[in-house]
Structure 1
Amino acid sequence: MSRSYGFDTLQIHAGARPDPATGARQVPIYQTTAYVFRDADHAAALFNLQEVGYIYSRLTNPTVAVLGERIATLEGGVGAVCCSSGHAAQIMALFPLMGPGCNLIASTRLYGGTVTQFSQTIKRFGWSAKFVDFDDLDALAAAIDGNTRAIFCESIANPGGYITDIRAVADVADRAGLPLIVDNTSATPWLCRPIDLGATLVVHSTTKYLTGNGTVTGGAIVDSGKFDWSASGKFPSLSAPEPAYHGLKFHETFGPLAFTFHSIAIGLRDLGMTMNPQGAHYTLMGIETLSLRMQRHVENARKVAEWLENDPRVEHVTYAGLPSSPYYERGKRVCPKGAGALFTFAVRGGYQACVKLVDSLELFSHVANLGDTRSLIIHSASTTHRQLTPEQQKAAGAAPNVVRVSIGIEDADDIIADLDQALAKATA
Structure 2
Amino acid sequence: MTDDRQQGFDTLQIHAGASPDPATGARQTPIYQTTAYVFRDSDHAAALFNLQEVGYIYSRLTNPTVSALADRICALEGGAGAVCCSSGHAAQIMALFPLMGPGCNIVASTRLYGGTITQFSQTIKRFGWSCTFVDTDDLDAVKSAIDENTRAVFCESIANPGGYITDIPALAAIADDAGVPLIVDNTSATPYLCNPISLGATLVVHSTTKYLTGNGTVTGGAIVDSGKFDWSASDKFPSLSQPEPAYHGLAFHPALGPMAFTFHSIAVGLRDLGMTMNPQGAHYTLMGIETLSLRMRKHVANAQKVAEWLENDPRIDSVTYPGLPSSPYHDRIEKICPKGAGALFTFAVKGGYDACVKLVDSLELFSHVANLGDARSLIIHSASTTHRQLSPEQQEAAGAAPNMVRVSIGIEEAEDIIADLDQALAKATA
Q: TM-score, normalised by structure 1?
A: 1.00
Give the match for residue 371 of structure 1.
Answer: 373
- Measure the CA separation in 2 of the matches of 1:297 and 1:372: 10
Instruction: Determine whether 1:83 maps to 2:90.
Output: no
Partner of 2:24: 22
- Matching of residues 219-368 of structure 1 within 5 Å: 219-368=221-370
1-side partners of 2:126 and 2:385: how far apart? Answer: 24
Cα displacement string for residues 59-110 of structure 1 (whole angstroms, at most 9, x for unaligned residues): 0000000000000000000110000000000000000000000000000000
In the alignment, structure 1 segments of 5+ residues that lack a partner are none
- Letter paired with 1:421: Q
Corresponding position of 1:99:
101
Sequence identity (%): 85
- 2:118 and 2:334 map into 1 onto residues whose CA distance is 30
**Cα offset, 1:20, TM superposition:** 1.1
Equivalent residue in structure 2 for 1:212, among 193, 211, 214: 214
Of the candidates 40, 46, 51, which is equivalent to residue 42 of structure 2?
40
In the TM superposition, what is the alpha-carbon distance from 1:333 to its structure 2 partner? 1.3
1:408 offset after TM fit, Å?
0.0
Structure 1, 325-334 or 73-82: larger mean CA deviation:
325-334
Hey, what does 1:67 align to over in structure 2?
69
For 1:11, the equivalent position in structure 2 comes to 13
Amino acid at match of 1:260: T
Counting matched residue pairs gives 428
Question: How big is the shift at 1:332?
Answer: 2.1
1:97 partner amino acid: L
Q: Is 2:198 the partner of 1:196?
A: yes
Deviations 1:118-163 (A, max 9, x none): 0000000000000000001011001110000000000000000000
Q: Measure, in 2, the Cα distance between the counterparts of 1:121 and 1:154.
A: 19
| Cα deviation 1:167-225 (Å, max 9, x = unaligned) | 00000001101100000000000000000000000000000000000000000000000
Q: Which residue of 2 aligns with 1:113?
A: 115
Give the structure 1 partner of residue 157 of structure 2. Answer: 155
Query: Alpha-carbon deviations, 1:35-78, whole Å to 9, x = none?
Result: 00000000000000000000000000000000000000000001
Paired residue secondary structure (1:18): coil
Structure 2 residue identity aligned to 1:309: E
Deviation at 1:256, TM superposition (A): 0.2
- 1:11: how far off? 0.2
SS across alignment from 2:153: strand
Q: Tell me how far apart the structure 2 counterparts of residues 228 and 391 of structure 1 sit (CA, whole Å).
A: 37
Aligned equivalents of 2:351, 2:335: Cα separation in 1: 35
> Where does 1:137-148 land on structure 2 (aligned, <5 Å)?
137-148=139-150
Q: Does 1:427 align with 2:429?
A: yes
Q: CA deviation at 1:267?
A: 0.1
Separation in structure 2 between the aligned mates of residue 119 and residue 93 of structure 1, nearest angstrom: 16
Q: Which amino acid aligns with 1:17?
A: S
1:122, 1:23 → 2: CA distance? 46
**In 2, Cα distance between the equivalents of 1:87 and 1:15?**
24
When the two chains are superposed, the root-mean-square deviation of aligned CA atoms in Å is: 0.5
Q: TM-score under structure 2 normalisation? A: 0.99
Q: Could you tell me how far 1:331 is from its partner in structure 2?
A: 1.9
SS at match of 2:346: strand
1: distance between equivalents of 2:377 and 2:214?
11
Q: Which of 131, 134, 137 is 2:133 aligned to?
A: 131
The partner residue of 1:54 within 48, 53, 56 is: 56
> What residue is the counterpart of 2:389 in the other structure?
387
Once the two structures are superposed, residues 230-253 of structure 1 have per-residue CA deviations (whole angstroms, 9 ceiling, x without a partner) of 001100000000000000000011
Quote the Cα distance in structure 2 between the aligned partners of 1:272 and 1:331: 38
Distance 1:52 1:194 in 2: 28
Match of 1:417 in 2: 419
Taking the aligned partners of 1:232 and 1:17, their CA distance within structure 2 comes to 40
Task: Name the aligned partner's letter for residue 267 of structure 1.
Answer: G
Per the alignment, in what secondary structure is the counterpart of residue 82 of structure 1? strand
1:264-295 Cα shifts (integer Å, max 9, x gaps): 00000000000000000000000000000000
Distance in 1 (alpha carbons) for counterparts of 2:411 and 2:399: 24
SS in 2 for 1:109: coil
Matched residues in 2 for 1:178 and 1:204: separation? 20
What is the distance in 2 between the residues matched to 1:151 and 1:258?
20
Q: Distance in 2 between matches of 1:277 and 1:352?
A: 43
1:384, CA displacement in angstroms? 0.1
Counterpart-to-counterpart distance in 1, 2:196 and 2:280: 28
Corresponding residue for residue 171 of structure 1? 173
SS at the partner of 1:337?
coil
Q: The residue matched to 1:273 in structure 2 has which SS?
A: coil
Question: C-alpha separation between the residues in 2 aligned to 1:136 and 1:357?
Answer: 34
Hey, what's the Cα distance between the residues in 2 that align with 1:327 and 1:85?
A: 29
SS of match in other structure, 1:106? strand
Unaligned runs of 5+ in 2: none
Distance 1:195 1:235 in 2: 20
CA distance in 2, matches of 1:399, 1:331: 24
Shift in Å, 1:395:
0.2
The whole-number CA distance in structure 1 between the counterparts of 2:323 and 2:171 is 21
